[in-house]
Amino acid sequence: MQIMLNMPEQNFCLIMKDNYTYDNLPDELKSRVTIFNRIAHNDVVQIINSCVLGVCTSYIETQHLSGLEMCACDVPVVATNTGVYQMHNDITSTRA
């Protein structure tokens, strides 16, 4: 959340596997965030391809599949140094 709060000029999308609601967001973010819950994989690809950057904030996930999906779409990813990113810190994007 702090990343989103620190970037007041930016809009964000959250792709969630659970039923995440706007009630979970601070009021100042609600107008700048679009939430996608349990959507079809083809739609996930389309949404990811519309992004300029992906962020994976988990400190406990070992695979970060969402980050790998973003890399597969050639979207740059900022992630915590855990799991697959800790083992392969040479993962880079070729997107210009």
Per-10-residue mean pLDDT of the chain, 96 residues long, equals 84 84 91 90 89 82 80 87 65 52
Confidence at residue 1, expressed as pLDDT on a 0 to 100 scale: 77
Confidence at residue 54, expressed as pLDDT on a 0 to 100 scale: 87
Confidence at residue 32, expressed as pLDDT on a 0 to 100 scale: 93
What number of other Cβ atoms are within 10 A of residue 57's Cβ? 12
Residues 62-83: b if buried by 16+ CB within 10 A, e if exposed: eebebbebbbebebbbebbeeb
Please name the amino acid found at residue 49: N
Give the pTM: 0.67
d(CA 79, CA 32): 22
